[in-house]
Amino acid sequence: MLLGIVFVSGCNDKQTTAIPAAEQETKLDPESKLAAIKIESYAHPDALISVYQLKEKILDPEILVFDARGRTFRIYQQTYLQSHIPGALPILYSNYYNQAYPGRMAFPLEFQSMLGKSGVSNNTSIVLYGGDGLEARLYWAIKMYGYDDVKILDGGLDKWKESGGDTSNVISKGSPVEFKFDLTNSKAESMLATLKDVKAAVSGNDYFIVDARSDAEYAKGHIPGSMNIPSTLLFNKDMTFKPSPQLRELFESKKITQDKTVIVYSNVGVRSSLVWFALSELLGYPNVKNYDGSYNEWLEYKGPVATGL
C-alpha cells in the first residue's frame, strides 16, 4: 500500500519533503514497485516491510528498528558495531532468552520489560532485521505474546545497503517507556509447540513435522517422521523472501498441506522461526507452531531419533 506522504532524506538528515500521494507512482523505481507487488501478494503483507518502504518511514518517531544479529557479544561486536541502519537499536540474544531454560524464549513479563527499556511503547511499530533467523524468532515471540505491530525487514541490512541506504557505527539507545503485552491476546496455544505436542505428532496422523536445519544435520539425526526443508530454501540470492508462488511450490513439493497442524523445529528454535514465518505469515497456513525447545530439548529428554535422508 502506498503512503500518503513519503519522507525523502538521508537517514542522518532530519529535513523532510512531503510528496503528494498522487505523485508517488512516478517516484517509485522499478525495484521498489516489484518489492511492493511481491509483499502485497503474501497472505499477511503487514508482516514484511521492504527496504524502500522503510526508507520512506525511517523518520517516523513511532517506528523503532532493531538489529537482531547479536547472537553472541562477539557477533554483536563484529556486526552492529561495524555497520547498522542509522537509529537501529541492538538486541542481543542474551537479552531475551529464558534464564531458567537457556536458549528458549523469555517469559512475557521479562520480555516486555526488556522491550520497554529499549523504548518500545504500545504505540510503537517494531521493525526487525537480522541474518540468521533471530529476527523471525523475535517476531514470532512478540506476536505470540499478543503484540501485533511488528514487521521483518525483507533482505535485512545487505538489501538496505544494496538499495543505497545509509549506514552508521554509532550506538543507538532507546529511552525507557512503559510497555505491556496484552496477554488476553496471547497466541501461545496456537503458535508454540511443546515437547508434549511433538511426542503426540510423532505418534499421530494429524500433524506434519518440519525440520528447518541443513541436509547434513537432518541426515545425522532428526525427529522421526519429520521432513527436511532447510530454512535457506526460503530466500532469493539477495536474502529477500521468495515470492509466494515459489514458497508454495516448495512446501507442496514436500506434501505440506494446510489441512493438518504443522510443527517446525531446528536446533534451538531459530531457523525454525523462519520456516514458521514463511508458512504462517507469508502463505497463510492456519495451524503452524514453532517448537521452541527444538531438537536440543528433544535430545535432552531422550526422544527417539532417526537418521539418514
The CATH number assigned to the domain holding 149 equals 3.40.250.10
The residue segments making up the domain with residue 94 are 21-185
203 occurs within a structural domain: yes
- Residue 66's nearest CA partner among 48, 88, 49, 95 is 88
Burial call 133-156: b when 16+ CB within 10 Å, e when fewer: bbbbbbbbbbbbbbbebbbbbbbb
Model confidence over 34-54: pLDDT tens digits? 999 999 999 999 999 999 999
Residues 126 and 219 reside in one and the same domain: no
Specify whether 41 is located in the same domain as 181. Answer: yes
The pTM is what?
Answer: 0.88
SS3 110: helix
Neighbours of 222 (CB within 10 A): 22
Cα separation of the two ends of the chain: 43
Looking at the structure, tell me whether residues 144 and 224 fall in a common domain. no
Which amino acid is present at 88? A
Cα separations in angstroms, 304 against 189, 221, 226: 25, 10, 12
Residues 87-104 pLDDT 10s: 999 999 888 888 777 778
One domain, residues 34 and 53: yes
The total number of structural domains in the chain stands at 2
The tens digit of pLDDT for each residue in 166-223 reads 999 999 998 999 999 999 989 999 999 999 999 999 998 899 999 999 999 999 999 9
Report residue 59 as a C-alpha cell.
Answer: 523518520
Q: What kind and span of H or E run contains 250?
A: helix 244-253
